[in-house]
Structure 1
Amino acid sequence: MGPEGKKLLNIIVLGFGFMFIFTAFQTCGNIEQTVIKSMNSTEFSGSGYTSMAIIYGVFSASNLVAPSVVTLIGPQISMFVSGLLYSGYIAMFICPYNWSFYTASVLVGIGAAVLWTAQGNVLAINSTDTTIGRNSGIFWALLQFSLFFGNLYIYLSWHGHDHIKDVDRRTVFITLTVISLVGCFLFFLIRKPDSIAPPPETTEPLLQTDMTDSNSTAVLSRPGLCSQALEAFVKACKLIVTKEMLLLSLSIAYTGLELTFYSGVYGTCIGAMTAFGSDAKSLIGISGIFIGIGEILGGGMFGILNKCNRYGRNPVVLLGLITHFVAFFLIFLNIASDAPQAPEAGTQMQTYMTPSIGVALLCSFLLGLGDSCFNTQLLSIVGLMFRDNSAPAFAVFKFIQSITAAVAFFYSNLLLLHWQLLILVVFGFAGTVSFFVAEWVSEASRREATDYDSI
């Protein structure tokens, strides 16, 4: 197998590893608030929204030091250990306590920062300017299969249940824990690409870190590694205030807000709709499947096929905005305003139209499709703009995204649905405009570089 073939294989293995881990974790996040409402335990009174707010808050703070961690221990071990923290969070639901719930939330927030920074490194080092779009799409599509498999399992397990029993909860979370552990061990199949030749001035953490265990051990003994880790931290801080990252920050912030909505809030809303009958709880799983279908379709259309690059990234992002606006309007009409905070018995509030399961699932699909439009293009443009500093750049990406997700999970406990939708509309419009400007700046810089090289 040639160098390009090995790089493509690394991307595929990376995607499968994340698919298994997030089959477990995204399913967990989608159902945990509903599960908690169904629990009858005097020793546990946690909130799924609060837990997610903690996770993303810690995630955001940890992103600034994550490049240093990846430099010190290597991307492979970084992803493996971080994956174990995800598994621990999921396993906590087998026998939950308040102290273990919130402690696990903190730990998985730290692990998430390291995991996604290492992922950005691996994506960048196994891609070129011509393959970054394809590889981003392949990774994104494989990752989003997690929404399909995990939520299909939830639907089959909970079909016809209007209350989640303890035995059902334990069975689901034991299964999800095992699935996440499989993903952790898949990372050991990733190998160092054959040709890595950074210029002398490049201090990219991943480029100085080998992908195998033995090589990673050798890297740890190199002199000056601590100074490289410190430099990675300094670079991450400096990148936050660059013109390019500031332009992208509103778009990234929007993906954090809508991530919270589709991964935690919307499923809870569907499960709270008494108008959907006794299958409302199992519809959470079906909703997740439709979100996954939208994500996978978007990843395939705008990443793997990469046909829209001749027109730039802006048309894809505009499509994502329109898709989301249609979904938000239909959700406003179809779902009760108090659904995010409704009790276990569900909401009795009237809606602006007769509640329809078909419309609810259509909105799930549109949420996934629009999310993939934004994320595939953001992954591509960040990997291209900051190729020489990919670890700090992806750390800043996740810092911005996770801090807005934390804020969104916090206000999900407080705001009615229509106010949450209004926030998404405002940030979605502003984020799209700022992305357009960033894309134009990127194209202008590329043309200038091409003209300079031709002189």
Structure 2
Amino acid sequence: MGDENGLPNSSPNHSIFRYNSPLVQVCLIGLVCFCCPGMFNALSGMGGGGQVDHTASNNANTALYTAFTIFGILGGGIYNILGPKKTLFIGCSTYILYAGSFLYYNHHKHQVFVVVAGGLLGVGAGLLWAAQGAIMTSYPPHDRKGTYISIFWSIFNMGGVIGGLIPFVSNYNRTTAASVNDGTYIGFMFFMAIGTVLSLAILHPSKVIRNDGSSCTNIKYSSVSVELIQILKLFGNWKMLLMVPASWASNFFYTYQFNNVNGVLFNLRTRGLNNVFYWGAQMIGSVFIGSIMDYSFKSRKARGLVGIIVVGLLSTAIWGGGFAKQLTYSHDDVPHRIVLLDFKDGSKFAGPFLLYFSYGLLDAMFQSMVYWVIGALADDSEVLSRYTGFYKGIQSAGAAVAWQVDSHTVPFMNQLIANWALTTISFPLLVALVVLAVKDDNKDEEGATKEASITSNRDISTTVDYPNKE
């Protein structure tokens, strides 16, 4: 049943396990990301895509993140036009091709296919993450976005945990092997195919009903002209400009951590084990920061500020530990003088392992914090899909640069300092954004929701109501 405009009835239904509830839909998008980007993260986390020579992987990742930059920014508009099912299905299918390209590379050592597959994955990832960002930030109740973000992040990163076990188990007896075996890539492709099919279970935001009876958006689908105009406006939006350093930094550090910490210091099987704990740490970090940003204070603005300060302090401590470790090795040591660590090496393994674990913890806390801030800027799916698309686009531009920086053998220490500086610069700008743009939660939920709705409607004033295409 629906109202005269074709929208679902807005009578309250307090069951959190409804198929059209925000919780169920956020869990579903978490499972999709568990299977696709979760497995991709495990593949990348081995360093060089599981290959001893990082050249093909670095070039593929450059193509990936260059395309991701464009389609990340455009992704929010494409999502508003196509809806979640088509957007996610197209995006997920490119992950299977990417894993398959490394299976091909294992036998033929021709990197052209890997690079092309990386570029296509950049298109698909831009679509997937724009959809994911819109769902994760707009479906939940406005005062529990941190909790829902942590739920998503935990499910998503379980993919990295399981994905890390695949190369660890399948290569357990190959401590001196150069590259992972075929079974590793086939395992990744299997999970990615499941995620692609599962994406068809995601509902359009107009069909997702919160417990108070409100829907996530009243817009059925947008138009190309409207989306292009709204996306262009983001480049002059002061809120988005304040987020540029955080966006740029948030994937920039992956290259250094995956290639030059995990990929350089540890042997093959231990890299897979490290990734189990790296992505497991992400689950812990997301729950911790989500709790702070939802429950620490009554005022939403205060919660945001405390969360940023906590992440900022931990960031300083963790990058400081990375700096101390980086003083002990360099590019020149890699070919001859570094003895690869195994998880059975005891105290020699413990310190570098703890550092890599801490990098995973920081990544989840940093990105969950940024998503919370984005989610606090609006409540409507239309607006937030554009905001998260912009975030992912700038993030991917930073990643594209980072992979090429590593390809040109920039000293490890320079890469670490660049990462540390970028994350540090982000914190005062995010503080300013919270102070200036985030409204306090000092009203009852209904009043706050209405206020957020007015803000969202102002942001999408040029959008019209079109017939539903999905």
- The TM tier, using the shorter chain, reads 0.7 to 0.9
* Deviation of 1:399 (Å): 1.0
Larger helix proportion, structure 1 or 2? 1
Q: Identity, % of aligned pairs?
A: 15
Q: Deviations over 1:7-52 (max 9, x none)?
A: 21111111011111133211221235163326xxxxxx95212221
* Deviation of 1:401 (Å): 0.8
For 2:430, which of 428, 432, 435 is the aligned residue? 435
Question: Is 1:329 the equivalent of 2:320?
Answer: yes
Question: Is 1:59 the equivalent of 2:68?
Answer: yes
* Deviation of 1:194 (Å): 4.7
Match of 1:246 in 2: 241
Relative distance call for 1:207 and 1:269 in structure 2 (3 A) is farther
Q: Deviations over 1:160-191 (max 9, x none)?
A: 4234367x521110111001111111122223
8 Å contact 1:59–1:399 — kept in the other structure? yes
* Deviation of 1:339 (Å): 4.9
Match of 1:301 in 2: 288
Question: Is 1:360 the equivalent of 2:352?
Answer: yes
Write the distance in 1 (CA, Å) between the matches of 2:218 and 2:98: 31
Question: Is 1:387 the equivalent of 2:379?
Answer: yes
Match of 2:35 in 1: 20
Match of 1:277 in 2: none
Q: Any idea what SS the aligned residue of 2:174 has?
A: coil
Equivalent AA in structure 1 for residue 309 of structure 2: L
Equivalent AA in structure 2 for residue 74 of structure 1: G
* Deviation of 1:115 (Å): 0.6
Match of 1:212 in 2: none
* Deviation of 1:143 (Å): 1.1
Relative distance call for 1:111 and 1:346 in structure 2 (3 A) is farther
Match of 1:213 in 2: none
8 Å contact 1:125–1:207 — kept in the other structure? no
Write the distance in 2 (CA, Å) between the matches of 1:175 and 1:49: 22
Match of 2:279 in 1: 292
Match of 1:50 in 2: 59
Unaligned runs of 5+ in 1: 39-44, 197-201, 210-218, 220-224, 272-279
Q: Any idea what SS the aligned residue of 1:327 has?
A: helix
Question: Is 1:377 the equivalent of 2:372?
Answer: no
Q: Deviations over 1:186-226 (max 9, x none)?
A: 12222343548xxxxx9x9x7544xxxxxxxxx7xxxxx5x
* Deviation of 1:242 (Å): 1.3
8 Å contact 1:52–1:409 — kept in the other structure? yes
Relative distance call for 1:172 and 1:312 in structure 2 (3 A) is same
CA-based RMSD of the aligned residues comes to: 3.0
For 2:190, which of 169, 178, 194 is the aligned residue? 178
Match of 1:91 in 2: 100
Alignment of 1:206-285 (within 5 A): 208-209=219-220, 228-271=223-266, 280-285=267-272
For 2:123, which of 110, 124, 130 is the aligned residue? 110
Alignment of 1:109-128 (within 5 A): 109-128=122-141
Relative distance call for 1:347 and 1:101 in structure 2 (3 A) is same
Equivalent AA in structure 1 for residue 434 of structure 2: E
Calculate the TM-score normalised by the size of structure 1.
0.81
* Deviation of 1:260 (Å): 3.3
Write the distance in 2 (CA, Å) between the matches of 1:94 and 1:142: 27
Write the distance in 2 (CA, Å) between the matches of 1:3 and 1:194: 13
Write the distance in 1 (CA, Å) between the matches of 2:400 and 2:178: 29
Relative distance call for 1:282 and 1:326 in structure 2 (3 A) is farther
8 Å contact 2:34–2:156 — kept in the other structure? yes
8 Å contact 2:265–2:339 — kept in the other structure? no
Unaligned runs of 5+ in 2: 1-12, 341-345, 452-470
Alignment of 1:141-160 (within 5 A): 141-160=154-173
Q: Any idea what SS the aligned residue of 2:224 has?
A: helix
Q: Any idea what SS the aligned residue of 2:52 has?
A: helix
Write the distance in 2 (CA, Å) between the matches of 1:246 and 1:68: 19
Match of 2:26 in 1: 11
Q: Deviations over 1:251-280 (max 9, x none)?
A: 222212223333444321223xxxxxxxx2
Calculate the TM-score normalised by the size of structure 2.
0.79
